[in-house]
Amino acid sequence: MARLLPDDGPSSIATALALGSSVVVVLLCSRGACRSLFRKGANFTAAMSFEMASTNLVVELSPIMLAFLGWQLTLAEFVGAPIMVKTDMPNG
């Protein structure tokens, strides 16, 4: 997986967001996965994007959010999470 995140370009960040949002992990596991990715050669920004997506942009929570919070807040989650990652990036 570290080979998929070689730099902090848009494709690496998009890959990190996609991979991070597809897994359900608790914050502690997310930090461990991020640290492991970075140690194995992934770019720091891409690894942090993976961590942020795996804790904030979880696809499996969408039906629950839709049922309890409505479609507007579910949409806002998926629109806002990539914006949050972009603004937290060093060059963002």
CA-closest candidate to residue 13, choices 37, 48, 39, 40: 48
Tokens representing residue 30 in the block: 């997310």
Q: What pLDDT score was predicted for residue 70?
A: 92
Tell me how far apart the alpha carbons of residues 53 and 61 are, in angstroms, rounded to a whole number: 13
Tokens representing residue 58 in the block: 């979880």
Tell me how far apart the alpha carbons of residues 36 and 22 are, in angstroms, rounded to a whole number: 18
Tokens representing residue 13 in the block: 């960040």
Q: What pLDDT score was predicted for residue 90?
A: 61
pTM for the model: 0.56
Q: Which helix (H) or strand (E) holds 8?
A: none
Q: What pLDDT score was predicted for residue 25?
A: 58
Percent of the chain at pLDDT above 70? 77
pLDDT tens digit string along 18-57? 777 766 655 567 777 878 888 888 888 888 878 777 766 6
Task: Name the 3-class secondary structure at 90.
Answer: coil
